[in-house]
Structure 1
Amino acid sequence: MDLQTFKSTLSATKVPEGISPLLKALWYDYNSNWEAAHNVAQSKEGTRDYDRLHAYLHRKEGDQWNANYWYRRAGESMPAVSLEAEWELLAERLTKK
């Protein structure tokens, strides 16, 4: 699924069928279900993309210490962009996989 197709699903009332768990998490997050998104991120701790998602979610939550922990686990640092821009970067990255 490409980025534009994924973004077109964001206004749907339920998660689209057949998308990856990580895209489901971004869909949940976009639709104000942080807990469901966080459950996905926790489901495969130690996997780079899941840890990266986990970092973003804790940053969004406002838990900077925990966010920084997960950024380090993912081998990255906290980006100097807005949360919205970070969501977009993650969505772009994950739709290319």
Structure 2
Amino acid sequence: MTYSEFISSIGNRDGVPDKLNVHLQALWYDAKGDWKIAHDLIDHLEDVTSAHVHAYLHRVEGDLWNARYWYNQAKQPEYKGSLKEEWEQLVKMLL
């Protein structure tokens, strides 16, 4: 799937595309405005990629303390750009 196809899928009413991994599913649901589903998909996972997406989601929530914890777990620096920029970078990295 390309980035353009991923973006297009967000507007579709068909639901989350079948072939997306859990990290991209979480970012897809976040883009749809469903933070809870996005968070529920990854909050129990312990790998560094899940931690990175988890950090982003806590930034969205406005819980910066929790976001910093998850950036640390992901071995990533705290993101300083906009939420939109971080979301785009995560999606492009994961596709």
Q: Give the TM bin, normalised by the shorter chain.
A: over 0.9
Question: Any stretches of 5+ residues in structure 1 without a counterpart?
Answer: none
Instruction: Kindly state the Cα deviation for residue 2 of structure 1 after the two structures are TM-superposed.
Output: 2.0
Aligned to 2:87: 87
Matched, 1:39 2:78: no
Instruction: Kindly state the Cα deviation for residue 43 of structure 1 after the two structures are TM-superposed.
Output: 3.2
Moved over 2 A (4+): none
Aligned to 2:70: 70
Paired amino acid for 2:17? P
Question: Any stretches of 5+ residues in structure 2 without a counterpart?
Answer: none
Aligned to 1:10: 10
Instruction: Kindly state the Cα deviation for residue 6 of structure 1 after the two structures are TM-superposed.
Output: 1.1
User: What is the TM-score with the length of structure 1 in the denominator?
Assistant: 0.91
Paired amino acid for 1:91? V
Please give the secondary structure, in 2, of the residue aligned with 1:10.
helix
Residue identity (%): 40
Question: Deviation string for 1:65-90 (max 9, x for gaps)?
Answer: 00000000000111121000000000
